[in-house]
Chains A and B, each alone.
Chain A
Amino acid sequence: MSKEIIKLQDVRARLAGDRGKRQWRSIEELAETAEFDELVRREFPSQAGELRDPVTRRSFLKMMGASLALAGLTGCEYNVAQPQEKIVPYVRLPEGLIPGKPLFFATAMPFQGYGLGLVVEQHEGRPTKIEGNPDHPATMGASNVWMQASILTMYDPDRSKSISYNKQESTWENFTGALTQSLNQLRGNGGAGMRLLTETITSPTLIAQIQQLQQAFPQMQWVQYDPISRDNVRAGAQLAFGNIVNTIYDFSQARTIVSLDSDFMVTEPGHLRYARQFAQTRLVRKSNPAMSRFYVAESTPTITSTQADHRLPVSSSRIDALARAIAAQVGVGGVTAGEGLSDAENRWVTAVVQDLKASGGASIVITGEQQPPVVHALVHAINQQLGNVGKTVQYTNPIEANPGIQFDGLRQLVTDMNSGAVQLLLMLEGNPVYNAPADLNFTAALKKVPLSIHYGLFNDETSANSTWHVNASHYLEMWSDVRAFDGTASVIQPLIAPLYGSRSPHELLDALLGQPPRSGYDVVRGYWQGQLGTTFEQAWESALRNGVLPNTAQQPQQVSLQGNFAAQQAAAPAANDALEIAFRPDPSVWDGSYANNGWMQELPNPFTKLTWDNAAYVSPKRAQDLSLQEGDVVTLNYKGQSIEAPVIPLPGQADNTVTVHLGYGRQNIGVISAPDGVQIGFNAYQFRTSDAPWFNTGLQVQKTGRRHDLVTTRNNYVIDQQVYSAAERREIVRVATLDEYQKNPTFAQPEPHRLTEEQVESTEHNTNMVDPVPQGGKESPYVSLLPNYPYPGYAWGMTIDLNTCIGCNACVTACQAENNIPVVGKQQVALGREMFWIRIDQYYHGDLENPKVYNQPMLCQHCEHAPCELVCPVAATVHDAEGLNAMVYNRCVGTKYCSNNCPYKVRRFNFLQYQDEATQSLKLQRNPNVTVRSRGVMEKCTYCVQRIAAARQDAERLGQEIQDGGIITACQQACPTNAIVFGNINDKGSQVAQLKAEPTNYGVLTELNTQPRTTYLARVWNPNPAVGETE
């Protein structure tokens, strides 16, 4: 390229033409020559992105062919096509917005119909991260995986983007036209042919609108259906008290907790609150070395039961007998103990009863939504008998509108549809074609409805079978409201305008009502204005600011027990070896609604660490009997249906129960739910019938001899004795009983350096250091070439309480959302290349039939003497002045040596271009304060260094130190049980320093002299000595 001659006259002329101060870098710039433009482009090549595009072998071949052909033509041309980009600054800056500073808005998320209060982080108008709202009773600042993942669903590029009529794109006007026509016909007979099918609804505004609709069409029927239904809970209350009530628990007061097949830390509407309260009773500290005792009887291991002190694996159908035995022994009138309890069951019941009686009204017995109504009634009676009601158990009016038995409603609806009585069916969210019970054959019935309208986020199974599909707004895009488990109402406020011009359900209902179009905002505001009257403005303000409408929680009410509930006999106990099938919501994709969410598909399930699949869980003994290995495909025969499913032998699974998870086997609704058009997992709904939606006997299992690649992040079989025995010898998780702890609080300290009693008493010994080796005047027993760096300012550190970690994965997804962690897909997970910066390691202890499970979140330990730093040839991983082990992505050339030398294996490598840099909508979700890593670089936990930086900026501006609690890492913020604590260990008063001074504080693999900044509080459990199963 020949250099253009710069004409100095032109330069002068240009300078003269400029008004004001113009700064220039060189004559070339002034001359505005092509060379200078070229130089700038070379310096900041926007085309460089091409290098990082994911390359398939095919595209590589194409590229190679093309470059050979073009080699002669374009050799000297650097810049082929420069895309035109326009940067438009805010002409009028929105109020309160400082570019670069995120805003936080309180809103709420409906999950199973119940509200979970949120605080959503928004960067320049795009929501990026969801947190729990500390002021909201249901979340208390914590979050679960679905809250975290829902933001990705909103940005999902596969969402339905338009209204369609018979799968042809259509318009809102056409839709309302067709709707009005139909409604006009139906109005004649009061809407007799009209049906409304929704999921569980607690939104006061929506309920009011539906009631209005019912007034306009008195014959219209409204059916609610949730596949993960709480029918049994409602029916149980009806059985016990004669009317449906809502039960609220207060675990913080409980000394004995008994779960009869209840996964209350996951599936109860108040699960996050319950998990936190439960954890409060399990804090074993120097100051208060006591904890509650937790009994669990269940068929399949759950997150909740990882905390059990005594866990009894029984088939789901045995729970009835156990509940009767407990009821009889605590003295509930009219109940006779079920016969035929086994020795183990008897021992367990005896211990339970002993502790329940001794707790004096400070206990909770709880059962799960899958247990039949009579068990719920028995449990209500037990709680009454123990005097728990009013203390740990409260009853209120139901939260949801029109509570009833949903399966009955749905069955009636299908009957009506089949008989031709239904002319107009409006399905407001939900996906009944996919998840309605198989025996109802909803799909066939739907085809008989002349006008069926599906309002949903995706073009899914139901929309494919409906005449109209209306694309729905995500809750982050609309105004609405919702009630939490205790009735507290929250206003859902939008964080972003609808991405695809969708309308909220309120606007849709308005259209049904034939009202002039109002915005969602006006509908919701209008409703509450009517409700609150004069106090409205203040309450509305508070609702938007704090996330809750004040004084909307339901008040506890008195209930009285009906006398005759126990007479209702449960189904006769099945023969001893009869197999039982149990249906459970999937721990990641839930009922299937998260099937197109990459974070959820890749999230390792608890226990199995299974990703991108579901499997049938069988007990190790049953697997041995049938000679089944992990990944063997079996045929499940049940009620004349058969499905092929891969099995996983799961330690702790009840012998007679095979558990299958709902939510898989989705049809192609997007690239995630069916990568390359291939359906993933099997659809357990095909089996599920309305008479036994949760469990039933009559299952037969046949080995097919084929195998299926189940991809897990543990890379080894769940049952691998070598793994667990090695973990125990290496003292990765340190465990003691409460009794042992009281005798020897320092049990978790490494043997040769165990603290003396005096050292434990003095708080000095351990607070100023991260090495668990005591420094009380003693030299460290380890020799190192590396100096002990001083940390005069902040010294960041973390503790994780293994006693309260329930392994719920909330931290994993929160970290993924905060730190722009890519999803790599099933194949890459199979190769051992998942990218999680934090993972939940689970170790088993004891026999396969009923082992103890230890959860251990594992993330970068930020070692003071970090083995990774020493071996990097380019100094891409270095220590900072506050003790962070920093990773400099820009400098990383990708030798992977650091990962090899990391004993904790917490470093993750971008083996390929994992980050999707092409999909526009996904870009909006990314945290602008965290680098998006390209292929070829190593990455790992940073202790959320971006949050540290933000807190430092704020503190420096105010001229203060960063206060304890001023920095909350993403994992810590999400944790329902507050098991993760982060802070400045130089600040003796900080919570983290206090916890590091606990005698149970220990570091993993400290014998390598890594001196980790992340330490763990040892696991303590509290067995009942009477049971005698302590080891």
Chain B
Amino acid sequence: MQESQSVEPVTSSNTDLLLEPTTNYTRITQQVADIILTPLLKTPRGWLFGFLISATALLLFLYTLGYLVAAGVGLWGVNIPVAWGMDILNFVWWIGIGHAGTLISAILLLFRQEWRTSINRFAEAMTIFAVICAGMYPIFHLGRPWLAYWVLPYPNTMGMWPQFRSPLEWDVFAISTYFTVSLLFWLTGLIPDFATLRDRTDNRVLKYIYGTVALGWRGSAIHWHRYELASLLLAGLSTPLVVSVHSIVSLDFAVAQVPGWNVTIFPPYFVAGAIFAGFAMVLLLMIPLRSYYNLQELITPKHVDVMGKVLLATGMVVAYGYFTEALFAWYSGGEFERFLLIDRATGGYAWAYWSLIFCNVLTPQALWIPRIRRSLPAMLVISLIVSVGMWLERFVIIVISLHRDFLPSSWGWYTPSFWDWMFYIGTFGIFFTGMFLFIRAMPSIAIFEVRSLFYKYRENRGNSGEVQGFAPITKDVTQ
């Protein structure tokens, strides 16, 4: 392998840069491609360790899944009245996480936000695996999962259509579309980088594999032209999906008449929550990755800072959502909504509600301070808290609402069972196994996009000594 020894990263004290000034075209390609082209036997131990843990969790998932299908959803803690618990909770949580990827790759592309280039590939991969994890739940929370295909509209001997008035039916279309478009977008974006890998490797097998998935990419002007058009189209397609998927997921609740669910603000509030959770997850994964693979030149504190601002903004929308929910409940004067409002704050699950307020409303306020936004350890902790907070939000919405609904005689409680947790941990197995394989086998940073950013960066500096458009540049940087 050429240039197999890794390049020492160089960081400057300037935290406003999207690329470290020490980088260059070679180093960008090398830093990203080396992760992948390291020979199998020289795979770093850290990666192996992480992968083994993830794969164990994946095996746990397969075991739990098998037992679940064999015995029934009674393994979980769900009951009457709380017929949805960890299953739908985690479904919404995973789906929400996925949103950041689509937002970064599609909407930010359309808005020409250049800071997205270093993180979009990674975030998109996260979307794919998060949606796969999410997808496990709606299928396997069914009493008879082997009949899940009945929700699809296909000609059948029963002469039955699905019931199109049900929000669960809308979910089927929303999520399958979302997954398809996200996957296409991700794979399309990978083509030029696959070609780079094909060209850089000496290994015949890898050359063959990457050559195949690069679909004959030669980097001709026509290729680039088609590619740009395709990504623009896909970005255009993805953009409404960012809003629609979680809006429709929120309708699972908003359409029902359960107090605490039947709230008109749910769609925007869920979308904001999803982006909030998604950015937290991107940060949570990106910060360790950056330090482990020495990607400091490509992912800078500036990136973390920008994402912190997004977190803060969406966090404020979410906080506003909580406020509005409470206001609606109080202002409506309705017995059921008011009762639920009080029960959330003072009932048996009040701990969940107040933890949620702490995680999602109070903690993000720290992001007003720029120093915290650029401190990677601080951001890691905040992201973790926000991820927990978003999990609690779904707990509050699903469990607290169901456990105290209309008829007091039917009030109940919900405790997740051992198998609930196993299944949840198992989905992490899917997610991280996928992510580890992705990091090892595919460029986790879009090489060509970063290189084009670098080009722009150089061009701008060449003209006026200052980079226009995305980041100021210090005078003493020379090459």
Establish whether residues B84 and A841, one from each chain, have CB atoms under 8 Å apart when the complex forms: no
Structural contact, B147 and A893, CB atoms closer than 8 A? yes
Nearest CB of A to B78, in Å: 7
Contact A867 B256 (CB under 8 A): yes
CB distance from A728 to the nearest CB of B (A): 9
Within 8 A of A (CB), among B119-173: 141-145, 147-148, 150-151, 158, 160-163, 165-169, 172
Is there contact, CB below 8 Å, between B72 and A913? Answer: yes
Which of A732, A841, A901 is the most central at the interface, judged by chain B CB atoms within 10 Å of its CB? A901
Among A55-63, A411-419, A538-546, A647-655, the stretch that binds chain B is A55-63
Specify which of B72, B161, B335, B339 is in contact with A875 (CB 8 Å cutoff).
B161
- Asked, given contacts A60-B71, A64-B66, whether A896 binds B78 with beta carbons under 8 Å apart, the answer is yes
At the interface, yes or no: A911 with Cβ under 8 Å from chain B?
yes
B363 contacts the other chain (CB 8 A): no
- CB of A462 closer than 8 Å to a CB of B: no
- CB < 8 Å: which of B257, B408, B410 contacts A730? B408
The answer to whether A911 touches B144 (Cβ under 8 A) is no
* Distance between B347 CB and nearest chain A CB, rounded to angstroms: 8
Interface size band for A: 35 or more
Chain A 120-135 interface 0/1 with B at a Cβ cutoff of 8 Å (1 = within): 0000000000000000
Asked if B412 and A60 sit within 8 Å, CB to CB, the answer is no
Least distance between B440 CB and chain A CB atoms (Å): 29
Closest approach, in angstroms, between the C-beta of A254 and any C-beta of chain B? 32
B405 CB within 8 Å of chain A:
yes
Bound Cα distance A60, B402 (Å): 32
CB–CB A897/B168 < 8 A: yes
Interchain CB contact (< 8 A) of B81 among A64, A723, A832, A897: A832
Q: Which residue of A lies closest to B166 (CB)?
A: A873
Q: Which of B257-312 contact A (CB under 8 A)?
A: 257-258
Contact B67 A57 (CB under 8 A): yes
CB pair A891–B339 under 8 Å, yes or no, is: no
In the complex, the answer to whether B407 meets A55 with C-beta atoms within 8 Å is no
Given contacts A715-B412, A871-B256, A893-B151, contact A899 B83 (CB under 8 A): yes
Flag whether B175 is at the interface (Cβ < 8 A): no
Q: Is the CB of B83 within 8 A of A896?
A: yes
**B81/A899 in contact, CB under 8 A:** yes
User: Which residues, 390 to 425 on B, are CB-close (under 8 Å) to A?
Assistant: 402, 405-413
| A892 at the B interface (CB under 8 A) | yes
| Cα of A873 to Cα of B144 in the assembled complex, Å | 14
Q: Contact at B166–A871, with CB atoms within 8 Å?
A: yes
Query: Whole-angstrom distance from the CB of A970 to the nearest CB of chain B?
Result: 21
- Scan residues 139-193 of chain A and give those whose CB is less than 8 A from a CB of chain B: none
- A891 CA to B158 CA, complexed, in Å: 10
**What residues on B are CB-neighbors of A64 within 8 Å?**
66
Of the candidates B66, B80, B166, the one whose C-beta lies within 8 Å of that of A870 is B166
Q: Which residue of B lies closest to A877 (CB)?
A: B163
**Least Cβ distance of A859 to chain B in Å?**
12
Whether A874 and B144, one on each chain, are in contact in the complex, defined by CB atoms closer than 8 angstroms, is no
Known contacts A60-B66, A873-B168, A899-B81; A891 and B71 CB within 8 A of each other: no
Tell me whether A935 and B72 are in contact in the complex, defined as CB-CB below 8 angstroms, given that A60-B66, A843-B408, A867-B257 are known contacts. Answer: yes
Tell me whether B166 and A897 are in contact (CB under 8 A). Answer: yes
CB distance from A321 to the nearest CB of B (A): 37
CB of A831 closer than 8 Å to a CB of B: yes
Given contacts A828-B74, A893-B143, A899-B83, contact A1005 B168 (CB under 8 A): no
Contacts A56-B71, A896-B143, A911-B74 given; does A891 touch B409 at CB 8 Å? no
Task: Find chain A residues with CB under 8 A from B78 CB.
Answer: 896, 911
Cα A908 to Cα B410 with chains together (Å): 12
CA distance A896 to B74 in the complex (A): 12
A850 at the interface (CB under 8 A from B): no
Which residues of A from 691 to 750 have beta carbons under 8 Å from B? Answer: 714-716, 722-724, 726-727, 729-730, 732
Report the bound CA distance from A871 to B166 in whole Å: 4
Are B162 and A874 within 8 A (Cβ)?
yes
Whether the pair B407, A732 counts as a contact (CB closer than 8 A) is yes
**A488–B2 CA distance with the chains assembled, in angstroms:** 106
Pairwise interchain contact B413-A895, C-beta atoms closer than 8 A:
no
Question: Is the Cβ of B408 less than 8 Å from the Cβ of A892?
Answer: no
Other-chain residue from B71, B144, B410, B413 in contact with A893 (beta carbon distance below 8 A): B144
Q: Is the CB of A905 within 8 A of B80?
A: yes
Q: Are B163 and A874 in contact (CB under 8 A)?
A: yes
On whether the beta carbons of B406 and A714 are closer than 8 Å, the reply is: no
Query: Quick check: A60 and B144 within 8 Å, CB to CB?
Result: no
CA distance A896 to B85 in the complex (A): 11
Q: From A723, A899, A901, A909, give the contact of B409 (CB < 8 A).
A: A723
B172 (CB) vs chain A CBs: closest residue? A873
Interface residues of B in 83-126 (CB under 8 A from A): 83-84
Quote the shortest CB–CB distance from B411 to chain A (angstroms).
6
User: What B residues does A714 contact at CB under 8 A?
Assistant: 409
B70 within 8 A of A: yes
- Report which of A726, A730, A909, A1005 forms a contact with B143, defined as CB distance below 8 A: A909
Question: Does B213 belong to the interface (CB within 8 Å)?
Answer: no
B73 at the interface (CB under 8 A from A): yes
* A894–B412 touching, CB < 8 Å: no
A903 within 8 A of partner (CB) = yes
CB of A858 within 8 A of CB of B172, answer no
Set B71, B257, B335, B402: member contacting A729, Cβ < 8 A: B335
C-alpha spacing A841/B410, complex, angstroms: 9
B56 contacts the other chain (CB 8 A)? no
Chain B positions within 8 Å of A60 at CB level = 66-67, 70-71
By beta carbon, the residue of chain B nearest A725 is B408
Query: When A867-B256, A901-B256 are in contact, do A935 and B74 touch as well, CB less than 8 Å?
Result: yes
A500 at the interface (CB under 8 A from B): no
B80 touches A893 (CB 8 A): no
Tell me, in angstroms, the Cα distance from A1004 to B408 when the chains sit together: 12
- Within 8 Å by CB of A872, from B166, B257, B407, lies B166
Q: Which residues of A contact B406 (CB under 8 A)?
A: 730, 903-905, 1005, 1008
Q: Does A833 contact B (CB under 8 A)?
A: yes
Let me know if B70 and A874 touch, CB within 8 A.
no
Residues of chain B contacted by A732 (CB below 8 angstroms)? 407-409
A669 at the interface (CB under 8 A from B): no
**Given that A726-B339, A896-B83, A912-B74 are contacting pairs, would A903 and B257 also be in contact in the complex, using a CB cutoff of 8 Å?**
yes
B residues 61-81 in Cβ contact with A at 8 Å: 66-67, 70-75, 77-81
Contact, CB under 8 Å: A911 / B72? yes
A899 and chain B: residue at smallest CB distance: B83
Across-interface contacts of A729 in B (CB, < 8 A): 335
- B67, B150, B160, B166 pick with most chain A CB within 10 angstroms: B166
What residue of chain A has the Cβ atom nearest to residue B75's Cβ? Answer: A912
B255 located at the interface, meaning its Cβ lies under 8 Å from any Cβ of chain A in the complex: yes
Least CB distance, A851 to chain B, in whole angstroms? 15
- Residue from A716, A871, A908 whose CB has the most chain B CB atoms within 10 Å: A871
Name B80's contact: one of A842, A907, A1008 (CB within 8 Å).
Answer: A907
| B166-190 contact mask (Cβ, 8 Å, vs A): 1 or 0 | 1111001000000000000000000
Interface residue? A601 (CB, 8 A): no
Q: How far is the CA of A852 from the CA of B52 in the complex (A)?
A: 63
Q: Are B258 and A874 in contact (CB under 8 A)?
A: no
Could you tell me which B residues sit within 8 Å of A by CB distance? 66-67, 70-75, 77-84, 141-145, 147-148, 150-151, 158, 160-163, 165-169, 172, 252, 255-258, 335-336, 339, 402, 405-413
Given A871-B255, A897-B166, 10 other A-B residues pairs in contact with their CB atoms under 8 A = A60-B70, A832-B412, A873-B151, A892-B143, A900-B83, A900-B258, A901-B256, A904-B406, A911-B143, A912-B75
Write the residues of chain A forming the contact surface with B, with a CB cutoff of 8 angstroms: 54-57, 60, 63-64, 714-716, 722-724, 726-727, 729-730, 732, 828, 831-833, 839, 841-843, 856, 858, 867, 870-875, 891-897, 899-901, 903-905, 907-913, 935-938, 1004-1005, 1008
17 A/B residue pairs, CB under 8 Å, sorted by A: A54-B71, A716-B411, A727-B408, A727-B409, A732-B407, A856-B409, A858-B409, A874-B160, A891-B158, A891-B160, A896-B78, A899-B80, A901-B257, A903-B257, A905-B407, A909-B143, A1005-B406
Rank and list the top 4 A-B pairs by shortest CB-CB distance, nearest first.
A894-B143, A936-B143, A911-B74, A832-B79
